[in-house]
């Protein structure tokens, strides 16, 4: 009998903390040995000259999801997961999105029906809560958290999604009590609609006005407010897709004060600017996302945030709407910026872009890259140490990177169902050659090696099993007595 199913030998392993040379022995989908001269295996992969990194975890992507204005994303769980795999990911966490009036149970059931038969990599779901009613807050959400749906996103903007500050406090309190993570889309809705109305009144409808309407102050104000709401109820909070320097500063300040605030940013805030929204005719629509890309100095601030501990997570926020009538142009070729589906694709290029421009250009260490693209998401979202690292007992989720592979990003090499990439023509150095998920070789020789539906749903656990009130065992302070009923 062979001792291992698979040995990967000769490569350099990097985790979030260490870089070392070792061979990896894999059995039944799990890493069972790290060492040298491991002996026999059914298959040996020679990784000489290659980097072996934990498979990427894309913790923010919209897959087979209907927007609040009823536009379906171009990627389903098959094309989305294939694209993710070709970009070095072995896990992704799309959203199970509630539309108002829907029960969360129904939303979760639909997400499973969509993902199970199609995903080629492992997956979990964040919930999106747009209807924070009594039943959702009192019954469904606590029950779902205890079943392992331990993260959810709320919006402070968008007509059909936004929740009030009061509802935000309710959601944060439930998360605090049952051990879940709240993620927030932080933009001030009134600021955006106030500016938008003025722009539209003057006939300023082109895509470039999207970036003006979604002012940096709209983002930084809402971020600061969200942080304060979380402080009030002593809850953890993760601010997603941060693009405004002042929002980043607010996160860092909170973290430096020991407040459990986390930050996420995305490729579009490092590699695009608001000028991209000002391309010919409607072409700027391809770059409309919220929050929008800022300017060059904003990009530099986001790079700094990746280095200085502002951001723990680097996600794609893949929100794929094609540049045609099914997506960006659904409301016609002359639609105003208010009527353009928000979002850009990025699942497949998230890691190669950050590797090339971050590690390759000396802005980040290889270990920081691993932390930002895999390990921290696993820790924050309850998947570590099964995911996000290379250790004995962890899933054999590995990406074997060729650090010298030079590629030009172009839509024809992407595996998603899009008709454009915002990064068309960018040259990058470094890309994964082999991607392994639970010991299965998913990508090799630039081809998909597995069948649809071969990925697994990942069970997660809440941070604690008994509901907790403020202070967790310590006497309530008078200022906190409003929460006495749950302590």
Report the interface residues with ligand DUC, using CB under 6 A.
62, 185, 240-241, 289-290, 317, 319, 342-343
5 or 216, CB closer to ligand DUC? 216
Residue 345 Cβ, how far from ligand DUC at the closest point, in Å? 11
The item of ligand DUC, Zn ion, none sharing an interface with residue 318, based on CB under 5 to 8 Å by kind, is none
Residue 289: contacted member of Zn ion, ligand DUC, none (CB under 5 to 8 Å, by partner type): ligand DUC
* CA dist., res. 443 & res. 464, Å (int): 37
Check: CB of residue 422 under 8 Å from CB of residue 88: no
Distance separating alpha carbons of residues 115 and 64, to the nearest angstrom: 9
From the CB of residue 406, how many other CB atoms can be counted at a distance below 10 Å? 11
Q: How far is the CB of 289 from Zn ion (least distance, A)?
A: 8
Cross-strand bridge partners of residue 95: 126
Q: Which strands form 12-14's sheet, in the order they lie side by side?
A: 19-21, 12-14, 51-54, 398-408, 427-437, 440-444, 447-448
176 binds, among Zn ion, ligand DUC, none (CB under 5 to 8 A by kind): none
Q: Which is nearer to ligand DUC, 174 or 340 (CB)?
A: 340
Q: How far is the CB of 186 from ligand DUC (least distance, A)?
A: 11
Nearer to Zn ion, 317 or 397 (CB): 317
With binding defined as CB under 5 A, does residue 317 bind Zn ion? yes
Q: Cβ-closest residue to Zn ion? A: 185
Three-state DSSP at 402 gives strand
342 interacts with, out of Zn ion, ligand DUC, none, CB within 5 to 8 A per kind: ligand DUC
Residues 38-67 that bind Zn ion (CB under 5 A): none
Q: How far is the CB of 352 from Zn ion (least distance, A)?
A: 20
- Partner whose binding site includes residue 156, from Zn ion, ligand DUC, none (CB under 5 to 8 Å by kind): none
Distance between CA atoms of residues 315 and 62, nearest Å: 11
Q: How far is the CB of 184 from ligand DUC (least distance, A)?
A: 10
* Cα 226 to Cα 189: distance, rounded to the nearest angstrom: 13
* Binders of Zn ion in range 181-210 (CB under 5 A): 185
Alpha helices in 94-151 (DSSP H): 104-115, 134-135, 141-146
Other Cβ atoms within 10 Å of 355 Cβ, number: 24
CB of 313 to ligand DUC, least distance (A): 13
Nearer to ligand DUC, 64 or 317 (CB): 317
**DSSP per position, 45-109:** EE-TT-EEEEPEEEEEE--S-B-TTSPBPS--HHHHHHHHHHTTEEEEEEEEEPPTT--HHHHHH
Contacts with Zn ion by CB under 5 A lie at: 185, 317
């Amino acid at each position: 009998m062979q001792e291992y199913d698979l040995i990967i030998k000769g490569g350099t392993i990097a985790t979030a903390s260490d870089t070392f040379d070792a061979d990896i022995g894999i059995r039944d989908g799990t890493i069972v040995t790290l060492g040298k001269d491991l002996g026999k295996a059914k298959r040996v992969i020679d990784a000489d000259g290659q980097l072996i990194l934990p498979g990427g975890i894309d913790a923010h992507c919209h897959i087979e999801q209907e927007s609040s204005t009823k536009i379906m994303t171009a990627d389903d769980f098959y094309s989305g997961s294939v694209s993710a795999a070709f970009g070095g990911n072995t896990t992704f966490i799309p959203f199970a999105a509630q539309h108002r009036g829907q029960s969360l149970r129904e939303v979760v059931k639909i997400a499973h029906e969509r993902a199970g038969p199609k995903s080629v990599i492992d997956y979990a779901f964040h919930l999106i809560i747009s209807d924070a009613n009594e039943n959702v807050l009192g019954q469904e959400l606590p029950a779902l958290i205890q079943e392992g749906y331990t993260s959810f996103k709320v919006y402070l903007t968008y007509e059909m999604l936004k929740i009030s500050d009061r509802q935000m406090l309710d959601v944060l309190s439930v998360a605090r009590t049952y051990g879940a993570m709240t993620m927030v889309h932080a933009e001030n809705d009134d600021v955006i609609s106030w500016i938008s109305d003025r722009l539209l009144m003057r006939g300023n409808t082109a895509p470039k006005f999207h970036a003006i309407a979604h002012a940096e102050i709209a983002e930084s104000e809402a971020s600061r407010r969200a942080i304060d709401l979380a402080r009030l109820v002593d809850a953890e909070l993760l601010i997603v897709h941060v693009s405004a320097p002042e929002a980043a500063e607010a996160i860092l300040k909170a973290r430096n004060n020991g407040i459990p605030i986390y930050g996420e940013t995305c490729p579009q805030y490092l590699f695009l600017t608001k000028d991209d929204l000002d391309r010919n005719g409607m072409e700027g629509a391809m770059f409309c996302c919220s929050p929008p890309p800022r300017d060059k100095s904003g990009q530099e601030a986001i790079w700094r945030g990746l280095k200085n501990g502002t951001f723990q997570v680097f996600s794609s926020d893949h929100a794929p709407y094609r540049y045609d009538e099914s997506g960006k142009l659904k409301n016609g070729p002359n639609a105003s910026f208010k009527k353009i589906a928000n979002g850009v694709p990025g699942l497949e290029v998230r890691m190669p872009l950050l590797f090339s421009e971050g590690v390759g250009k000396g802005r980040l260490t290889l270990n920081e890259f691993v932390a930002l693209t895999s390990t921290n998401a696993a820790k924050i979202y309850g998947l570590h140490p099964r995911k996000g690292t290379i250790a004995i007992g962890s899933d054999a989720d590995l990406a074997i990177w060729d650090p010298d592979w030079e590629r030009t990003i172009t839509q024809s090499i992407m595996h998603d169902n899009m008709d454009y990439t915002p990064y068309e023509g960018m040259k990058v150095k470094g890309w994964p050659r082999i991607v392994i998920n639970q010991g299965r070789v998913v990508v090799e020789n630039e081809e998909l090696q597995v069948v649809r539906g071969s990925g697994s749903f990942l069970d997660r656990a809440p941070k604690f099993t008994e509901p907790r009130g403020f202070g967790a065992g310590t006497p309530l302070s008078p200022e906190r007595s409003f929460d006495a009923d749950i302590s």
